[in-house]
Amino acid sequence: MRWNSKGKSADVEDRRGGRVSPRAAVVGGGGVLAVIIALFFGLQGKPVPAGIVPLGGTPAETAPFKASPEEEKLVEFVSFVLDDIQNTWAAEFKKRGQTYTRAKLVLFSGSVDSACGLGEAAMGPFYCPGDSKAYIDLSFYDLLKKRFGAPGDFAQAYVLAHEIGHHIQNLRGTSMESHRAMKANPAKANEISVRQELQADCLAGVWAHWTQQRGVLEVGDFEEALKAANQIGDDTLQKQATGRVVPESFTHGSAAQRKHWFKRGFDSGLEEDCDSFSATEY
Residue-wise pLDDT tens digits, 38-92: 433 333 333 333 332 333 333 444 456 788 889 999 999 999 999 999 999 999 9
Q: Which domain holds residue 126?
A: 12-274
Predicted pLDDT at 63: 53
Q: How far apart are CA 226 and CA 203, in angstroms?
A: 14
- Determine contact, residues 203/274, Cβ cutoff 8 Å: yes
Total tally of structural domains belonging to the chain: 1
Closest CA to 158 of 106, 193, 110, 200: 200
Write the CATH number for 257.
3.40.390
Taking the whole predicted model, whether its pTM rises above 0.95 is answered as no
Q: Is 53 helix (H, G, I), strand (E, B) or coil?
A: strand
In a domain, 279, yes or no: no
Mean pLDDT over residues 262-272, rounded? 97
Q: How far apart are CA 47 and CA 268, in angstroms?
A: 33
Predicted pLDDT at 42: 34
In a domain, 173, yes or no: yes
